[in-house]
């Protein structure tokens, strides 16, 4: 599990009915929702405007400044704000005593300046009176310690009192603002995945888990069989005996632990769903979403969380990546790849539908310490990168910079003294440029030739039992993604039981759990000509987290054409990998794991060297039907991995028409016959990109023939001539 803690440790709709004047470029969110099914997502019924805005905190700003703020926000070209997601204590000063008068006044002022409002429901941070009166709402972490109030996200997602009070304040807000001119939509809560400890282990979650297990399995006999409770005398005879995986002087049952992760995901998603059902009923004309943090934070199944929401939102802070990975030393080109992974994975949560950046870094990013100062050009570049990966809009975090509270170091568009920040003009320019792409550009579809499996079952199960202490699904996924991303052929994140047919190559590193449905889907994909590239630890387990009772790689053995003769966690051994002619290159080092392969029908692309594994097959390729299945049995070093995956990509026939050096990203978005090519230089130096023909800048109109040179940290949008 990658939690925020681990992450840190590792390094318009203006209601036209109400007579509001629409900005020329804005579009009316004309929603004719089917009232019969309030939970049903209505993406096709919703026409979103261009959402270019800023996160605004009237709750933290003297009222005397609200008009000036609204005027300046409008002058900056921003057309919406998100407000109130952390303002519970000002909206309900004691239980049932609601006051929305201040927020109503703020919304009116914003609306007068043509600014539309996204309201946040405030359940991410309950007021002190609430946790004082109902201490049972507090989250219990994975060590059994009750997390104390004073921060945020310290609450249990299952607790009924907390759910009731969260729904109550959200309902009062909804009733108050359902018809308020200028209000266009809702953000439920704030960053569900951001809990310091990821999951709650309290007594309410325990009961919730028992009920969930009952619904899932029906009888205790099935539970006992699926979890294998005969081991260590764990046979349950009553539902209430089922524990949660808290410290117990022995590792938890892996089946139970995996189901507990699934339960926690469900608990958070169903918490959000309660507010969604209410909002659909009371505010049928408004869109509803929530913001989240993209991969590699992974404690909630985001497909589950966003299933009935209108579109995906996430928060984009390259500065966080800069601060927390590799001690702040990660070069900007590499930061960009981690950020790209976040965008690609979030876009894929709703299968490619354009997403919104609800919080975009607008300056120095810091809480108790500052992150690196963005270089001139980088704020613009990062916003364009989000759009290059499928965003339909960007909201900057935040308008002003807080003069009090835990985020005084988090810089907004205004400095502490309300002067314009160093990035202000750059943001104004960016917003203007993004608007010029119009609705068609910002809502076009991202083009992907390849896909990555993002398999939470494998991720969670490997976190429970990594095999080798250092083996991590998220780290493998990031390494593989980084190796493939530089080919600039576009990458989606999919589930192996989803539609794979449009991809030339599908990558599935450490797919530890493989279901029968996934195996059959992959089999058909390869049979029909797809290239499937996977790795060590393939198909070791089934969905209950039991080891399969067949030779590895289990259900996909026929497709891969190999048997895993033995598998070896690597600690001190020096093991190399020597490549054959197809993948010719310098020998690789094998780091954490070696699956020793015996080919059945596959051919050998690389062999192990050193120790007793000398000569065993390390990488194989199997012709299966019209496609190919490649098994990378060794955890090869980063350089070799990149070389191998790039070679396999080329074999799949996937190739970018653009020649871009390292550090330059090229992505494509299409709408009908039109295509926008985004060229992003994440390096500080100028870089030259070769172009397949004549292009014109969609932003400046400049023409380019065969190549274009970008300044350091520059972003361009090109159209073919």
| Contacts with ligand GLA, residue ranges (CB under 6 A) | 190-191, 315, 359, 367, 397, 407, 410
Distance CA 34, CA 87 (A): 31
The binder of Zn ion chosen from 109, 119, 205, 431 (CB under 5 A): 205
Query: Is residue 202 at the binding interface for Zn ion, with CB under 5 A as the rule?
Result: yes
Name the binder of 433 from ligand GLA, Zn ion, none, CB < 5-8 A by kind.
Answer: none
**Shortest distance, position 568 Cβ to ligand GLA, whole Å:** 41
Tokens 């300044």, residue? 711
Binding residue (CB under 5 A) for Zn ion from 14, 20, 115, 156: 156
Give the pair of three-digit tokens for residue 160.
């009924």
Please report how close the Cβ of residue 91 comes to Zn ion at its closest, in angstroms: 25
> Nearer to ligand GLA by C-beta: 261 or 315?
315
Tokens in use for 689? 């990109």
Q: Which stretch binds Zn ion (CB under 5 A): 156-164, 178-186, 423-431, 528-536?
A: 156-164
User: Which partner in ligand GLA, Zn ion, none is near 200 (CB below 5 to 8 A by kind)?
Assistant: Zn ion
Closest separation between CB of residue 57 and ligand GLA, Å?
10
Nearest to 293 by CA among 352, 351, 354, 338: 338
**Closest CB to Zn ion: residue number:** 156
Q: Which of the choices Zn ion, ligand GLA, none does residue 454 contact, using the CB cut-off of 5 to 8 A by kind?
A: none
CA distance 36 to 373: 51
In order, the DSSP letters of 23-59 are PTT---------TT-TTS--GGG-----EEEEE--GG
Pick from Zn ion, ligand GLA, none: which does 397 bind, CB < 5 to 8 A by kind? ligand GLA
Phi then psi dihedrals of residue 393, to 5 deg: -170, 165
Candidates 276, 269, 241; CA nearest to 41 is 276
Residue 315 partner contact from Zn ion, ligand GLA, none using kind-dependent CB cut-offs of 5 to 8 Å: ligand GLA
Residue whose Cβ sits closest to ligand GLA: 315
DSSP assignment of 295-343 equals TT--SS-HHHHHTTSSS-EEEE-HHHHHHHSGGGT--HHHHHHHHHHHH
84: left (phi over 0), alpha (psi -120 to 50) or beta: left
From the list ligand GLA, Zn ion, none, partner contacted by residue 205 (C-beta under 5 to 8 A by kind): Zn ion
Comparing CB distances to ligand GLA, the nearer of 320 and 713 is 320
Q: Are 621 and 575 in contact (CB under 8 A)?
A: no
Considering beta carbons, is residue 169 or 506 the nearer one to ligand GLA?
A: 169
Q: What DSSP line would sit under 246-276, residue for residue? A: ---SSPPPHHHHHHHHHHHHHHHHHHHHHHH
Q: Which range, of 148-156, 182-190, 546-554, 680-688, touches Zn ion by CB under 5 A?
A: 148-156
Give the residue with the Cβ less far from ligand GLA, 190 or 622: 190
For residue 188, which of 97, 99, 307, 108 has the smallest C-alpha distance? 307
Which residue, 164 or 403, is less far from Zn ion as judged by CB? 164
Q: What H or E segment, with its residue span, contains residue 223?
A: helix 220-227
Q: Which does 236 bind (CB under 5 to 8 A by kind): Zn ion, ligand GLA, none?
A: none
Minimum CB separation from Zn ion for residue 241, in Å? 18
- DSSP E strands in 641-684: the ranges are 664-671, 674-681
- Candidates 200, 330, 506, 510; binder of Zn ion (CB under 5 A) is 200
693 near 721, Cβ under 8 Å? Answer: yes
Q: Which does 190 bind (CB under 5 to 8 A by kind): Zn ion, ligand GLA, none?
A: ligand GLA
What is the binding site for Zn ion (CB under 5 A)? Answer: 156, 158, 200, 202, 204-205
């Amino acid at each position: 599990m990658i939690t925020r803690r681990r992450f840190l440790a590792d390094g318009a709709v203006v209601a036209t009915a109400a007579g509001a004047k629409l900005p020329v470029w804005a579009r009316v969110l004309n929603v004719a929702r089917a009232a019969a099914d309030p939970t049903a997502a209505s993406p096709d019924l919703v026409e979103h405007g261009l959402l270019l805005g800023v996160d605004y905190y009237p709750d933290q700003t003297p009222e005397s400044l609200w008009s000036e703020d609204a005027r300046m926000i409008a002058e900056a070209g921003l057309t919406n704000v998100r407000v109130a997601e952390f303002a519970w204590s000002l909206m309900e000063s004691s239980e049932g005593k609601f006051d929305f008068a201040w927020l109503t006044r703020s919304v009116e002022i914003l609306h007068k300046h043509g600014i539309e409002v996204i309201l946040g429901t405030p359940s991410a941070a309950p007021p002190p009176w609430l946790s004082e009166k109902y201490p049972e709402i507090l989250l219990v972490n994975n060590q059994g310690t009750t997390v104390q109030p004073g921060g945020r996200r310290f609450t249990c997602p299952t607790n009924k009192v907390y759910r009731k009070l969260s729904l109550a304040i959200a309902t009062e807000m909804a009733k108050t603002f359902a018809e308020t001119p200028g209000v266009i939509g809702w953000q439920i809560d704030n960053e569900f995945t951001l809990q310091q400890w990821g999951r709650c282990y309290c007594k309410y979650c325990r009961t919730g888990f028992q009920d969930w297990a009952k619904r899932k399995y029906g009888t205790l006999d099935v539970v006992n069989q699926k979890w294998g409770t005969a081991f260590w005398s764990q046979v349950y005879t009553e539902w209430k005996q089922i524990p949660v995986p808290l410290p117990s002087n022995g590792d938890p049952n892996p089946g139970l632990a995996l189901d507990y992760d699934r339960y926690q995901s469900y608990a958070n998603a169903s918490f959000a769903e309660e507010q969604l059902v209410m909002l659909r009923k009371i505010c049928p004309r408004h869109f509803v979403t929530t913001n989240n943090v993209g991969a590699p934070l992974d404690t909630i199944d985001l497909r589950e969380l966003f299933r009935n929401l209108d579109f995906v939102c996430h928060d984009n802070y390259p500065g966080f990546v800069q601060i927390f990975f590799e001690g702040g030393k990660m070069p900007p080109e590499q930061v960009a790849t981690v950020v790209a992974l976040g965008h690609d994975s979030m876009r894929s949560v709703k299968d490619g539908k354009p997403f919104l950046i609800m919080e975009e870094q607008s300056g120095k990013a810091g809480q108790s310490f500052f992150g690196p100062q963005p270089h001139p050009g980088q704020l613009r570049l990062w916003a364009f990168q989000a759009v290059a990966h499928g965003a339909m809009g960007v909201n900057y975090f935040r308008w002003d910079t807080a003069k009090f509270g835990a985020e005084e170091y988090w810089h907004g568009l205004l400095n502490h003294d309300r002067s314009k920040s160093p990035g202000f003009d750059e943001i104004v320019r960016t917003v203007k440029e993004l608007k010029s792409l119009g609705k068609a550009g910002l809502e076009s579809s991202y083009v992907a030739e390849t896909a990555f499996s993002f398999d939470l079952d494998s991720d969670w199960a490997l976190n429970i039992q990594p095999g080798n202490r250092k083996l991590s699904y998220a780290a493998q996924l990031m390494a593989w993604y980084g190796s493939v991303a530089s080919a600039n052929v576009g990458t989606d994140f999919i589930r192996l039981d989803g539609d794979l047919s449009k991809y030339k190559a599908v990558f599935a590193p450490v797919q530890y759990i493989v279901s029968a449905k996934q195996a059959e889907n992959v089999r058909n994909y390869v049979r029909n000509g797809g290239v499937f590239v996977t790795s060590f630890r393939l198909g070791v387990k089934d969905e209950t987290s039991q080891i399969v009772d067949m030779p590895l790689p289990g259900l996909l053995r026929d497709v891969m054409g190999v048997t895993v003769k033995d598998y070896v966690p690597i600690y001190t051994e020096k093991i190399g990998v020597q490549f054959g002619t197809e993948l010719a290159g310098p020998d690789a080092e094998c780091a954490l794991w070696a699956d020793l392969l015996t080919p059945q029908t596959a051919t050998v692309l690389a062999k192990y060297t050193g120790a007793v594994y000398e000569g065993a097959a390390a990488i194989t390729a199997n012709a299966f039907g019209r496609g190919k299945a490649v098994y990378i049995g060794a955890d090869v070093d980063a350089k070799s991995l990149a070389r191998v995956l790039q070679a396999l990509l080329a074999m799949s026939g996937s190739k970018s028409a653009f020649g871009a050096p390292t550090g330059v990203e090229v992505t494509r978005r299409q709408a009908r016959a039109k295509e926008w090519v985004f060229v992003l230089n994440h390096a500080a130096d100028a870089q030259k990109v070769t172009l397949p023909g004549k292009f014109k800048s969609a932003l400046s109109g400049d023409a380019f023939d065969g190549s274009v040179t970008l300044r350091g940290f520059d972003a361009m949008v090109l159209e073919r001539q």
